[in-house]
């Protein structure tokens, strides 16, 4: 039985797809058979971030409609044998996702995989609610910014009331806070909510803090999940997140402003 | 004090304002959670009906939904103005 992880946030542009790509690659690198699904029907992007956009033949909706089977639609990652991508449909509208259809696909994936990561679209429409419906764990991606924090809290309400686990009275979804695009410098200046502030407001278990990083754009330019850039701060932070998720105790890093040497000050960001 | 420090200290600590606003807002939104989403509209319409007879403020009304062991209780609380406002004639 796979564990189903939803990467959610409510707000767009917060780092859900970046996170889904990083976490799924990280789990796969740790030897876990992992599938990552793009739930953003009509606005497919996970394929680009994963670097498999030219190998998309069939998609999630094809599988739901029985026009292709899972083996035909899953794209095997070229860097890691344990990782498979199920792309979103680019042409169908959001209503092509049905609760029953999604349930069947997840059930089938569960037989073969250890983890299924669901990359949620923004908003609280069908794609987003279905991405979280069957989840066992939720990674709530939040930026240290008022609207993002508020939207995250809204998603927590939906996770607690509209998920399969909630409806069937099972143990609730495990919720984790992932604070991304964090700028220790701006926190120090009092311009940005700190990790403690956000945690106090949302009272969630902190899975990790991903710094605002140039490495993320670089990684997306080349279609490489940023976790593979293990020299970068964001890559390392995502690496920590995956190990923490798997139960290791890993101290939080990148919470303080980095002391740069002269070289760093001249050439760094 | 260096020039940089000067600019830093003159900036408002906007993050503290953000935190306070969020705490208030989220506490309010959490309290509404799980309640039927027609409550705000019900409240608005009740207010309109009441205003045909008495003039009351927007915040004079509160509509609550509480869960007992085996039943739900809809509570409507309306605070009427002290004295001044005469009841308007029926039908308004
Ligand atoms: N830690 C980060 N540092 C800098 N930029 C980031 C970071 N995380 C995400 N981004 C950028 O933010 C934008 C939105 O990210 P994305 O993962 O697509 O968000 P979402 O899927 O939530 O809409 C992208 O341009 C991405 O490169
Ligand atoms: Mg996305």
Instruction: Tell which atom from ligand 1 comes closest to the C-alpha of A211.
Output: 1
Are A18 and A220 within 8 A, CB to CB? yes
Q: What is the pLDDT of residue A261?
A: 59
Q: Closest-CA residue in chain A for B8?
A: A189
How do residues A93-102 score in pLDDT, each as one tens digit?
767 899 999 9
Q: What is the pLDDT of residue B91?
A: 45
Q: What is the pLDDT of residue A269?
A: 46
Higher-pLDDT residue of A240, B77: A240
CA of A21 to the centre of ligand 1 (A): 11
* pLDDT exceeds cutoff 50 at A16: yes
How do residues B2-55 score in pLDDT, each as one tens digit?
555 555 555 568 999 999 999 999 998 898 787 777 888 898 999 999 999 998
Q: Closest-CA residue in chain A for B26?
A: A150
Region of poorest pLDDT, from A76-80, A112-116, B77-81: B77-81
Residue spans of the domains in chain B: they are 1-33, 37-92
- Give the residue from A140, A108, A123, A95 showing the smallest Cα distance to A37: A108
The mean pLDDT value for A254-268 works out to 68
CA of A111 to the centre of ligand 1 (A): 31
Confidence of residue A242 (pLDDT cuts 50, 70, 90): very high
Residues 6+ away with beta carbon under 8 Å from B10: none
Chain A neighbors of B21, CB-CB under 8 A: 146
For every residue of A174-203, which 3-state class applies, written as one string?
Answer: EEEEEEEEECHHHHHCCCCCCHHHHHHHHC
Give the number of the ligand closest to the Cα of residue A10: 1
The per-residue pLDDT of chain A, averaged, comes to 94
B contact residues 38-57, partner A, Cβ 8 Å cutoff: none
* pLDDT exceeds cutoff 70 at A252: yes
- The protein residue whose alpha carbon is closest to atom 14 in ligand 1 is A13
> ipTM of this predicted complex?
0.86
Of A6, A10, A13, the one to substitute when testing ligand 1's pocket (max ligand atoms within 8 A of C-beta) is: A13
d(CA A123, CA A129): 9
Q: What is the pLDDT of residue B37?
A: 78
Higher-pLDDT residue of A262, A50: A50
Q: Closest-CA residue in chain A for B9?
A: A189
The SS3 assignment for A162 reads: coil
d(CA A77, CA A34): 10
Note whether B19 contacts A: Cβ–Cβ < 8 A: yes
Q: Which two tokens stand for residue A269?
A: 């960001």
- Give the residue from A201, A128, A113 showing the smallest Cα distance to A163: A128
Residues 6+ away with beta carbon under 8 Å from A121: A12, A39, A40, A41, A43, A127, A128, A131
Share of chain A above pLDDT 70, in %: 95
Distance from the Cα of B19 to chain A's closest Cα (Å) equals 7
Backbone angles phi, psi at A45, to 5 degrees: -145, -20
How do residues A160-189 score in pLDDT, each as one tens digit?
999 999 999 999 999 999 999 999 999 999
Q: What is the pLDDT of residue B18?
A: 96
Q: Which two tokens stand for residue B74?
A: 């809809």
Backbone angles phi, psi at A48, to 5 degrees: -70, -45
Q: Are A146 and B18 in contact (CB < 8 Å)?
A: yes
User: Regarding beta strands A75-76 and A137-142, do their DSSP bridges make them parallel or antiparallel, or are they unpaired?
Assistant: unpaired
Region of poorest pLDDT, from A5-14, A200-209, A225-234, B67-76: B67-76
- Give the residue from A78, A71, A1, A11 showing the smallest Cα distance to A47: A78
Q: Is any ligand 1 atom within 6 A of the Cβ of residue A180?
A: yes
A contact residues 134-153, partner B, Cβ 8 Å cutoff: 145-146, 149-150, 153
Q: What is the pLDDT of residue B7?
A: 55
CB count within 10 Å of CB B74 equals: 11
Q: Are A194 and B25 in contact (CB < 8 Å)?
A: no
What's the pTM? 0.85
Q: What is the pLDDT of residue B86?
A: 54
CA of A158 to the centre of ligand 2 (A): 19
Q: Are A189 and B8 in contact (CB < 8 Å)?
A: yes
């Amino acid at each position: 039985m796979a564990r189903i992880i939803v990467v959610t946030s409510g707000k767009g542009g917060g780092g859900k797809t970046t996170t889904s790509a990083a976490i799924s690659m990280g789990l796969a690198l740790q030897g876990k058979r992992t599938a990552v699904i793009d739930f953003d029907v009509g606005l497919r992007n996970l394929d680009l971030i994963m670097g498999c956009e030219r190998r998309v033949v069939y998609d999630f909706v094809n599988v739901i409609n029985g026009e292709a089977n899972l083996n035909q639609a899953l794209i095997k990652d070229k860097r890691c044998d344990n990782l498979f991508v199920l792309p979103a449909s680019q042409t169908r509208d959001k209503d092509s996702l049905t609760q029953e259809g999604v349930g069947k696909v997840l059930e089938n994936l569960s037989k073969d995989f250890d983890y299924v990561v669901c990359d949620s679209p923004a908003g609280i429409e069908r794609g987003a609610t279905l991405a979280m419906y069957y989840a066992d764990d939720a990674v709530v991606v939040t930026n240290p910014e008022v609207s993002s924090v508020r939207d995250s809290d809204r998603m927590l309400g939906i996770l607690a009331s509209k998920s399969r686990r909630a409806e069937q009275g099972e143990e609730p979804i495990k919720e984790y806070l992932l604070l991304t695009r964090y700028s220790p410098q701006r926190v120090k200046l009092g311009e940005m909510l700190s990790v403690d502030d956000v945690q106090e407001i949302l009272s969630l278990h902190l899975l990790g803090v991903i710094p605002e990083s140039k490495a993320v754009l670089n990684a997306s330019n080349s279609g490489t999940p940023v976790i593979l850039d293990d020299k970068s701060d964001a890559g390392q932070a995502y690496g920590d997140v995956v190990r923490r998720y798997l139960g290791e105790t890993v101290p939080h890093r990148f919470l303080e402003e980095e002391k740069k040497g002269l070289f760093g000050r001249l050439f760094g960001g | 004090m260096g020039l940089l420090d000067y600019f830093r200290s003159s900036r408002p600590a906007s993050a503290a304002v953000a935190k306070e606003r969020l705490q208030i807002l989220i506490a309010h939104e959490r309290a509404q959670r799980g309640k039927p989403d027609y409550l705000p509209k019900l409240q608005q319409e009740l207010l309109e009906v009441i205003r045909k007879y008495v003039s009351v403020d927007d915040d004079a009304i509160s509509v609550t939904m509480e869960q007992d062991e085996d039943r739900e209780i809809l509570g409507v609380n309306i605070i009427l103005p002290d004295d001044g406002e005469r009841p308007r004639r029926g039908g308004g």
